Amino acid sequence: MYSKYLKFLNKIVVSVNMKFLIDTFSWKKFDLLSKTNLFKVSNLYNWAEIFITHEVKAEIEHFKLKSCNFRATNILPIKNHKIFQDAKSLKFDQADAEILSNGNLNEDMCIISEDKPLLKFAIAYSINAIQVIDLFQVFNKLELLKNRELFQINRFLREKKNITKKKASNVKKWLSKH
């Protein structure tokens, strides 16, 4: 774990005890990056404490995703029932509602998601949430990931249309300043 505090993209604060609650589709991206040797998922576990929910675990098993190490991953139950019910009333699925219910447990926790409605909900409830590419920028800023590695990940995700052209461009601009 790292002892630096970062204000990152005016979205989150990453602290000494980085804790990431990761959704299913983000695990799919980690699988893709791992298969192409662009990122070792074991590093994720070395650098942070990793969380999922029971429903996310079920989805990971259903989709046969390989990057999640269940032995090293903390599995959380529904925590904030009000947020859970608010999310369900807005037609979020069980996995997303469970994730959101845990998002405001402490300010060291950050949700990693590619789900735009989930990210918007998180902003409305002051829950820390970012996309996978933002997470890699955090790792780069903490000097855990080299500029070249972030550039390659960014390019790969854009080629696969896993991030928008605008997002990829913003990462390239950000990299040119660091």
Count Cα atoms within 13 angstroms, Cβ side, for 131: 16
* pLDDT of 58: 98
Let me know if 128 is exposed, middle or buried by CB neighbors in 10 A (0-12, 13-18, 19+): buried
From first to last of the 178 residues of the chain, give the pLDDT tens digit: 232 334 444 444 445 578 999 999 999 999 999 999 999 999 999 999 999 999 999 999 999 999 999 999 999 999 999 999 999 999 999 999 999 999 876 677 899 999 999 999 999 998 999 999 999 999 999 899 999 999 999 999 999 998 999 999 999 998 998 7
Half-sphere exposure of 31 (CA within 13 A, CB side): 16
3-state class of 103 per DSSP? coil
Which domains does the chain possess? 13-130 (3.40.50.1010), 133-178 (no CATH)
